[in-house]
């Protein structure tokens, strides 16, 4: 197996590791390795020192130039703290289905297909309908009565 193919395989492996470790760094090292492998296969570079220079240069350049733009592709959308309260405000008044019977005012509900921890002053049974009246961090505060909009 030629050195160029090894560089390409290592590069692909590094890019695939981003699926498990979302640091968004391995992908740029992988791009550097793939670029080095392709240039080596095409005969553009031949010496070992040129391989390391191309690998390091391309990895560093892509990391510095593109990391911020590509980070959302690998770790998903995250909002800054200033916009978080606005996002959670959107779910106020939404209808939820009780997933588990509330015990001591605590249970689970489903909002938009996602299960949430919830609390309520109302007795709620599995299958009941409730309404989001407040958000307390990652816990929804729900009520049997629909809030006025």
pLDDT value of position 43? 92
- Predicted confidence band of residue 84 (pLDDT cuts 50, 70, 90): very low
Q: Report the distance separating Cα 88 and Cα 109, nearest Å.
A: 16
Threshold 0.95, pTM exceeds: no
CATH topology of domain 84-143: OB fold (Dihydrolipoamide Acetyltransferase, E2P) (2.40.50)
- Each domain of the chain, given as residue ranges in start order, spans 3-75, 84-143
Bridge partners, residue 65, by sequence: none
Tell me what the mean pLDDT of segment 75-81 comes to: 50
pLDDT higher at 91 or 5 = 5
Rounded to whole angstroms, the Cα distance separating 62 from 9 reads: 19
Residue 75: per-residue pLDDT: 52
pLDDT tens-digit readout, 92-128: 778 899 999 999 999 999 988 888 999 999 999 999 9
């Amino acid at each position: 197996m030629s050195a160029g193919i090894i560089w390409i395989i290592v590069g692909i492996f590094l890019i695939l590791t981003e699926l498990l470790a979302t640091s968004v760094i391995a992908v740029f090292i992988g791009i550097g390795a793939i670029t080095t492998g392709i240039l080596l296969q095409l005969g553009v570079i031949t010496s070992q020192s040129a391989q390391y220079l191309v690998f390091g240069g391309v990895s560093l350049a892509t990391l510095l130039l593109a990391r911020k733009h590509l980070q959302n592709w690998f770790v998903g959308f995250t909002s800054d703290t200033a916009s978080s309260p606005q996002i959670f405000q959107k779910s106020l008044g939404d209808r939820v289905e009780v997933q588990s019977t509330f015990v001591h005012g605590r249970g689970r509900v489903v909002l938009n297909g996602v299960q949430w921890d919830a609390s309520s002053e109302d007795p709620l049974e599995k299958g009941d309908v409730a309404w989001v009246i407040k958000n307390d961090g990652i816990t929804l505060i729900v009520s049997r009565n629909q809030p006025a909009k």
